[in-house]
């Protein structure tokens, strides 16, 4: 049986739609009354594991799931050995450096050396600031990183931005973009190499419905 790790939250509905196009019906996971964390398809061909977005690459890299859907930001942060198969094109956002609008900083290099930067994505932040040769003190936060500059704990934050409304509502502005992120179909490398055709059939179907018209 094929096991697919699906992220709860914003990516779930579109993920279910893509797998439906490949003949796998995971629609039961969208039922608000459903409390199962492992949900089989009606035909019994596959099952979905409902996990947190950040846990998808862990389940795939350890082989508990052969396929999964996860944001590129998570893949870049955790650096786990999974095969990136298809850029699914939904869940778009950007990883950015943001500061207080009144700070006067216009780019990351304006930040003072050894200042504090708050982030959930400390690996991405470290990689970025190292590339700039700008030494900073990273402060790991699990939520509401916007409070870092507001309270004065940090000069800046590195965080995901979609519309930018949360930043604006809290008096922050973006000054640099690290990279763009979107949902990715990933696979367990060994499972893909040993595939008898079942996995590649799913991947091909998803790639076909994802590709822009004329590129399928």
Confidence of residue 5 (pLDDT cuts 50, 70, 90): very high
Confidence of residue 214 (pLDDT cuts 50, 70, 90): very low
| pLDDT tens, position by position, 35-82 | 888 988 988 889 999 999 999 999 999 999 999 999 999 999 999 999
The share of the chain scoring above pLDDT 90, in percent, equals 86
| pLDDT tens, position by position, 192-202 | 999 999 999 99
| 117-139 mean pLDDT | 98
What is 2-91+182-210's CATH number, 3.20.20.70, 3.40.190.10, 3.30.2420.10, 1.10.260.40?
A: 3.40.190.10
- Provide the CATH number for the domain formed by 93-179 in this structure: 3.40.190.10
Paired sense of beta strands 172-181 and 116-119, if any: unpaired
Question: What's the full length of the chain, in residues?
Answer: 216
CB 91 within 8 A of CB 182: yes
Half-sphere exposure of 74 (CA within 13 A, CB side): 23
User: Angle CA(177)–CA(52)–CA(165) in degrees, nearest 5?
Assistant: 40
User: Could you tell me the CA-to-CA distances from 148 to 100, 104, 157 in Å, in that order?
Assistant: 10, 17, 7
Confidence of residue 215 (pLDDT cuts 50, 70, 90): very low
Instruction: Please give the pLDDT value at position 34.
Output: 80
**What one-character-per-residue DSSP string does 87-104 give?**
E---S-EEEEEEEETTS-
2 pLDDT more than 50: yes
| pLDDT tens, position by position, 156-186 | 999 999 999 999 999 999 999 999 999 999 9
To the nearest whole number, what is the mean pLDDT of the chain? 94
Instruction: Decide whether 2-91+182-210 matches 93-179 in CATH topology.
Output: yes
Question: Would you kindly state where each structural domain of the chain is located, as residue ranges?
Answer: 2-91+182-210, 93-179
CA–CA separation, 6 vs 16, rounded Å? 8
């Amino acid at each position: 049986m094929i096991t697919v790790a699906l992220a709860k939250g914003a990516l779930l509905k579109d993920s279910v739609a893509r797998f439906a196009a490949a003949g796998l019906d995971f629609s039961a996971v969208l039922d608000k009354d459903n409390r199962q964390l492992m949900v089989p398809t009606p035909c019994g061909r596959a099952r979905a594991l409902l996990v947190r977005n950040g846990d998808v690459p862990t389940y795939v890299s350890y082989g508990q799931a052969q396929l999964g859907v996860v944001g590129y930001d998570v893949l870049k942060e955790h650096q786990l050995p999974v095969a990136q198969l298809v850029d699914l094109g939904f869940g778009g956002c950007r990883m950015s450096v943001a500061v207080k609008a009144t700070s006067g900083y216009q780019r990351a290099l304006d930040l003072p050396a050894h200042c504090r930067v708050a982030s959930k994505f400390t690996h991405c932040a470290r990689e970025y600031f190292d590339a700039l040769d700008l030494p900073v003190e990273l402060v790991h936060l699990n939520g509401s990183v916007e409070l870092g500059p507001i309270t004065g704990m940090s000069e800046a934050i590195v965080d995901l931005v979609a519309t930018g409304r949360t930043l604006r509502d809290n008096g922050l502005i973006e000054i640099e973009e690290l990279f763009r992120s979107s949902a990715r179909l990933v696979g367990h490398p060994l499972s893909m190499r040993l595939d008898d055709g079942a996995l590649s059939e799913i991947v091909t179907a998803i790639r076909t419905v994802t590709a822009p018209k004329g590129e399928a």
